């Protein structure tokens, strides 16, 4: 409530932004899949490569905070809400992360299903911390495998995986992931 309080949540950087809508309505008809996103060679591909793979983004935003770059947003066809966000570093111009927003109808919304998708992952479990601010953020648990460049963001309430984050893996390409054959 104190308007002078600066709420800074651990590991969360806030950014001023300018947004541009770039995607045509025809493009919106093409829904993206997690498989498509995970084929992106994070750390090595640039904006042109991503456009070839996924098409134009629906929104582009500039991020001016501790991490500087551009965020591309691709919307879900039905809900028009974000499905994927991509972060391009200003300096290298390379794609540095891909965040997949899990929907309630996705199998990955269940933590067990999301973990099954990555049978070779060795997750470090990190609980979110309340460090500043007058209101604690929602409890979140991060399942992080730095070697695979994989992070599952899980909310105990309402017991859902909110998003799947891919960054450049230490072992090489993100697409090195082995997908369990039982999970599509």
Partner 1 sequence: MRNVVLFLISFVIPTLGMAAIQETKKCPSDAHWVRAYFRNAYIRVDGTKVSASNVAAHCAKNRKSHDFGFPLFKNTLPTRWPWVGEKIKSWTVEEIERVLEALDSLPKALRLKSIKGIYRFGRSKDYPNPATSRAGEIVLYDTALDESRNLARILSHEFAHEIYRNFSTKEKYDSDLAANWFESSDDKGRTIRVARGDGFVELDGRQSSDEDFSNNVEYFLFEPEKLKTATPNVYTWIGKYFGDTFVISP
**Interface contacts to partner 1, rule CB under 8 A:** 1-9, 11-19, 43, 59, 61, 63, 65-67, 69, 71, 73, 79-82, 85-87, 89, 96-99, 101-104, 109, 130, 133-139, 144, 149, 151, 153, 155, 157-158, 160, 162-163, 165, 167-168
Angle, vertex CA 16, rays to CA 12 and CA 19, nearest 5: 115
Q: How far is the CB of 93 from partner 1 (least distance, A)?
A: 13
For residue 60, CA distances in Å to 73, 85, 120 come to 6, 10, 34
Rg over alpha carbons for the chain, rounded to the nearest Å, is: 17
Q: How far is the CB of 180 from partner 1 (least distance, A)?
A: 22
Q: Which is nearer to partner 1, 25 or 181 (CB)?
A: 25
Query: Under 8 Å CB-to-CB from 26, ≥6 apart: which residues?
Result: none
Cis peptide before 158 (omega within 30 of 0): yes
Q: How far is the CB of 181 from partner 1 (least distance, A)?
A: 27
Q: Which is nearer to partner 1, 36 or 155 (CB)?
A: 155
Q: How far is the CB of 117 from partner 1 (least distance, A)?
A: 17
Cβ proximity of 7 and 135 under 8 Å? yes
């Amino acid at each position: 409530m104190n308007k002078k309080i600066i709420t800074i949540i651990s590991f969360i950087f806030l950014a001023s932004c300018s947004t541009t809508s770039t995607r045509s309505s025809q493009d919106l008809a093409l829904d993206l899949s997690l498989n498509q996103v995970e084929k992106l060679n994070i750390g090595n591909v640039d904006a042109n490569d991503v456009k070839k793979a996924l098409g134009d983004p629906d929104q582009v935003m500039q991020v001016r905070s501790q991490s500087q770059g551009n965020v591309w947003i691709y919307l879900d066809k039905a809900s028009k809400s974000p499905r994927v966000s991509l972060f391009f570093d200003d300096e290298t111009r390379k794609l540095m992360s891909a965040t997949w927003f899990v929907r309630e109808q996705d199998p990955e919304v269940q933590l067990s299903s999301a973990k099954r998708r990555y049978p070779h992952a060795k997750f470090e479990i990190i609980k979110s911390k309340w460090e500043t601010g007058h209101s604690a953020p929602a409890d979140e648990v991060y399942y992080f495998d730095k070697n695979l460049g994989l992070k599952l963001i899980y909310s105990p309430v309402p017991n859902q995986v909110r998003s799947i984050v891919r960054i450049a893996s230490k072992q090489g390409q993100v697409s090195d992931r082995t997908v369990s054959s039982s999970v599509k």
